[in-house]
Amino acid sequence: MKAGAGIAVGLAVALAAGGGYWLGQRPSAGAQQADSPVAAAPDGAKRERKLLYYRNPMGLPDTSPTPKKDPMGMDYIPVYEGEADDAPAAAGTVKISTDKVQKLGVRTEAAELRSLERTVRAAGRVEIDERRSFAISPKFEGYVERLHVNVTGQPVAKGQPLFEVYSPELVSAQREYAIAAQGVEALKDAGSEAQSGMKQLAESSLLRLRNWDISEEQIRALAKSGATKRTLTFRSPVAGIVTEKKALQGMRFMPGEALYQVADLSSVWVVADVFEQDIGQIRSGSPARVRINAYPDKVFEGKVSYVYPTLNAETRTVPVRVELANPGLLLKPAMFAQLELPVGGRQQVVTVPNSAVIDSGTRQIVLVAHGEGRFEPRDVKLGSRSESHIEVLQGIKAGEQVVVAANFLIDAESNLKAALDGFGHADHGSKQTAAPASVGHRTEGTVEGLDPKENTVTLSHDPVPSLKWPAMTMDFKLANPALQQALKPGARVSFEFVERQPGEWVITAVQPAGTAATAKAHAGH
């Protein structure tokens, strides 16, 4: 019995020692509860929230680490941890939730190196080559005896007779020359002085006839026969078209009066008006393509022969001249022409699509995408443009992703202007984050007044949960004048509004309050 009792006692001691070792190696229940996040606080007890900052009640880009009031006397709204974005945007960036990015249809492309090539287009007209236009103007007084070409637009060959004239001065000059020529012949055997004097008289008479554009053929005939002609024939100096005819049968003309004008249209000019901002890329010798409305299936090739040194102050354009061959005389003076001038350099530069640039008139901005709904607005310096891309001189590097679609919607969604205006104004002594702006706020209100000229309306509206606004009376801008039709003084309406820029609230949709049963259900979105 004693031996059995001893064995039992020994077994009990061994079990107790093993159980103690096992319990010692196992974590205590209290420790397990302390490590479990679920048991961090007793059931029913609320965990204290961490206060981040106080934001402006009207949505302006102004925050404060301590409670304060705005100029209207409204309290700044506290923002607690968990109410702001999951990951606040870095300084100088804006953030939009990924689901809104998808709804807005945001699309990005990488800035890349490329050679910009574009085509400058300008309107022009076909003109006569001034170097191929000739006026026929007698240098003496006379009368038109006969017309050989009597129709404007008639083609003529070089040397073809145009008209004949009679002039008493011409007849007198011919007689003087004929007598002097006969005198020279008669005084061949006379003394040198007499012979020299007669030769000088003959030469002066001949020079007078040549100065009057008498042809050498007529002069030789006159010297040979000695008979004067009553009329003188004027011939075309070039093959071309008679573009102007003032001569009439029997009319009297004065010295220098243009009776005919003949133009050679085998080559013509196209003079186009290029806008001031494009003229710096146009060079003499550059290729040019010309299209004429009369021949839509033809393209005429030429080169820029001259860039005029003057600018038209009214149209802000500079004339550019292109020379074109005109076989078949298809190109007619005063025809309307469309000029295409390919320009651009071979050097590769950093470019972004044209749609990536937001131009406010005073600054140009490109949104750089950093992923997860974060966008950085950057000021850029722009260079030359092509049909689809624009050169970025400063602000963007090749390979960076830029927003090319829905960037203006991002501007509205993220209150981009507020973010840009807030650069450098953050309080470095506190960890403040700009309050996220909202769009599409909905509420109801009563129309107090309408100003059609200023396109504004005064509304006494209900509280706006999405902005944490109380009920108040305030002025709103209207997105377009057509919204005024639904706004009558005293009417109860349901409306949606956005913040176009800090402090400027714009109504984008409005309808009678009774027709939007679900308006309030969406007011917080």
CATH number of the domain that residue 372 is part of: 2.40.420.20
| 517 in a structural domain | yes
**According to the model, what pLDDT value does residue 21 have?**
41
Predicted local distance difference test score (pLDDT) of residue 87: 42
Query: Rounded to an integer, what distance in angstroms lies between the CA atom of residue 123 and that of residue 440?
Result: 46
Q: How many CB atoms lie within 10 A of CB 267?
A: 16
Of 314, 336, 358, the one marking the end of a domain is 336
- Cβ atoms 380, 420 nearer than 8 A: no
Domain of 510 in residue numbering reads as 441-522
Residue 170 falls within a domain, yes or no? Answer: yes
Domain finish residue from 257, 285, 310: 257
Please tell me whether residues 55 and 27 are part of one structural domain.
no
pLDDT (mean) for 301-315: 93
Domain assignment of residue 226, yes or no: yes
Out of 203-212, 436-445, 487-496, 515-524, the most confident range is: 487-496
Within 10 angstroms of residue 217's Cβ, the number of other Cβ atoms is 8
Res 409: pLDDT: 66
pLDDT at 178: 78
Given 257, 284, 301, the domain boundary residue is 257
Residue 176 counted as domain residue: yes
Burial 42-53 (b: 16+ CB within 10 A, else e): eeeeeeeeeebb
CA dihedral for 426, 427, 431, 432, sign (positive or negative): negative
Residue 220: per-residue pLDDT: 75
Burial class (CB in 10 A: 0-12, 13-18, 19+), 515: exposed
Is 433 inside a domain boundary?
Answer: no
Q: Are residues 362 and 276 in the same domain?
A: no
Co-location of 453 and 395 in the same domain: no
Element (H, E) at 381: strand 381-385
Q: Which H, E and C letters describe 350-387, residue by residue?
A: EEEEHHHEEECCCCEEEEEEEECCEEEEEECEEEEECC
Q: What is the pLDDT of residue 84?
A: 52
Structural domain contains residue 127: no
Q: Is residue 430 included in any domain, yes or no?
A: no
The answer to whether residues 157 and 237 belong to one domain is yes
pLDDT in tens, 507-520: 888 888 876 444 44
The one-character DSSP state at 195 is H
For residue 231, what is the DSSP state? E
Dist. CA 515–CA 512, nearest whole Å: 6
Q: Which band of pLDDT confidence, cut at 50, 70 and 90, is reported for residue 37? A: very low
* pLDDT at position 271: 95
Question: Which 3 state secondary structure label does DSSP give 289?
Answer: strand
C-alpha radius of gyration, the chain, whole number: 47
How far apart are the C-alpha atoms of 399 and 110, rounded to whole Å?
Answer: 5
Same domain? 112 vs 202: no
Shared domain for 288 and 189, answered yes or no, is no
Q: For residue 412, what pLDDT is reported?
A: 58
User: pLDDT > 90: what percent of the chain?
Assistant: 29
Number of domains in the chain: 6
Is 275 a domain residue? Answer: yes
Same domain? For 142 and 184 the reply is yes
Whether residue 287 sits in one domain with residue 189: no
**Spatial distance between the Cα atoms of 291 and 202, rounded to a whole number of angstroms:** 58
Answer positive or negative: Cα dihedral of 288, 289, 294, 295. Answer: positive
What DSSP line would sit under 466-480, residue for residue? TTTBPSEEEEEEESS
**144 and 252 both lie in a single domain:** yes
Structure tokens at 229: 């002609």
Confidence of residue 198 (pLDDT cuts 50, 70, 90): confident
Question: Same domain for 329 and 394?
Answer: no
Mean pLDDT of 352-366: 84
Amino acid letter for position 479: A
What value does the mean pLDDT of the chain take?
78
| Statement: residue 5 has pLDDT above 90 | no
- Predicted local distance difference test score (pLDDT) of residue 308: 94
Residue in the structure block whose two tokens are 């030429």: 302
7 pLDDT higher than 50: no
Task: Give the helix/strand (H/E) hosting 243.
Answer: strand 240-245
pLDDT confidence band for 404 (50 / 70 / 90): confident
pLDDT in tens, 227-261: 778 888 899 999 999 999 999 999 999 999 999 99
Instruction: Give the model's pLDDT for residue 128.
Output: 94
Whether residue 179 is found in the same domain as residue 223: yes
Position 434 scores a pLDDT of 38
If asked whether residues 151 and 177 sit together in one domain, one would say yes
pTM above the 0.85 mark?
A: no
pLDDT at res. 407 = 65
Q: What pLDDT is recorded for position 221? A: 74
